[in-house]
Chain A
């Protein structure tokens, strides 16, 4: 009987902490690992495109930006892939609605439609981003990457940067 009480208490505690944890990670902030080299050198600077074990960075993703959907160019965001809703990708916002973006390969200029944004990886060679599938709806955005939290020698805020020459905003 006493044993059952203990087990019941432990289960209840785990359940409560689970629910609180899910709520905090949904609404406020969560920590996610980053795989792949598409954002190198900002994340995973030593990763190469194909080589085996990749030492992943862990980053802090804040969700407060989802209340207003206000972003600025240069923000690093997490979004659901438009090709597969189960995948989440990390890329940098290059242009916001109303901006004109020059694409490097085809040399034409694209206008970002209302409610969309243009995202690109820092590592242009191996990045699947708006250059292949066009601007993404901002509703797919799941959070903004604000800090690197692991490994310890790389702890710090993620800086904003974006190519000035290619964007013409209205």
Chain B
């Protein structure tokens, strides 16, 4: 009986010592945990800042495909687009814009604005087979977009005017390829490559 009592008190002591050791180890871990927490918070803040800058100020994008030849390359141009002018409605005819495709909402494409709401736009219906052209009036709240390469471009000539809300940004600077580094300027609407 006494034996058992003794052993249990010894057990208690050992347990207590173990707990003390554990606490001490925890105390050692505390600065590391604090550092990790601070690091996580910093990374989270940084990502939030990145998101805000990317959504509201400017974004980078890689464009490829034949539809904007010769302005944008076939194999891939790295461009910067700013979000402010589309948000405040300060884009005009001739600007190159990023548009969310009306046919596939997960795709974003680069096209040139050819008409704002209320403008009448004349376009060649089928440039490969003759120059029969048609004139339409862009409805309220919509814009008319076309690729520079009218022979190989899926744009408003196929799906009609698109709502302004689909515009994602105005492309204003090219970064890659380096030999064509520089601003992308406006073009008059009727200077088309015909």
Report A's interface with B, CB cutoff 8 A: 16, 19-20, 22-23, 26-27, 68-69, 79-85, 113-116, 136-141
Contact = CB atoms under 8 A, between A and B. Distances in A.
Contacts of B45: 16, 19-20
Contact of B162 (A79, A83, A137, A138): A137
B51 A85 contact: no
A16 B165 CA distance: 29
A66 B54 CA distance: 16
A139 to B, nearest CB: 4
Contact of B163 (A20, A85, A113, A115): A85
27 contacts: A22-B48, A22-B51, A23-B47, A23-B52, A26-B51, A69-B105, A69-B106, A81-B141, A81-B163, A81-B165, A82-B142, A82-B163, A83-B141, A83-B163, A84-B141, A85-B163, A85-B164, A114-B103, A115-B103, A115-B104, A138-B105, A139-B100, A139-B101, A139-B102, A139-B105, A139-B165, A140-B166
Contacts of B100: 137, 139
Contacts of A68: 106
B49 interface: yes
Closest A-B pairs by Cβ, 4 of them = A80-B165, A139-B100, A137-B102, A82-B163
Interface in B1-55: 44-45, 47-49, 51-52, 55
Contact of B141 (A79, A82, A141): A82
B169 to A, nearest CB: 13
Interface in B54-86: 55-56
Contacts of A20: 44-45, 48
A167 to B, nearest CB: 20
Nearest to B44: A20
Most interface-central of B45, B141, B162, B165 (chain A CB within 10 A): B165
B140 interface: yes
Contacts of A26: 51, 55
Interface of B: 44-45, 47-49, 51-52, 55-56, 89, 100-106, 139-142, 159, 162-167
User: Interface majority SS on A: helix, strand, loop or mixed?
Assistant: mixed
Nearest to A140: B165
Nearest to A66: B105
Contacts of A27: 51
A127 to B, nearest CB: 18
A123 B52 CA distance: 36
Contacts of A115: 101-105
A113 B103 contact: yes
A115 to B, nearest CB: 4
A84 to B, nearest CB: 5
Given A114-B103, A115-B101, A137 B163 contact: yes
A141 B100 CA distance: 11
Given A16-B45, A115-B105, A137-B163, 17 more contacts: A19-B48, A20-B45, A20-B48, A22-B51, A23-B51, A26-B51, A82-B163, A83-B163, A84-B140, A84-B141, A114-B103, A115-B102, A137-B102, A137-B166, A139-B101, A139-B105, A140-B166
A19 B52 CA distance: 7
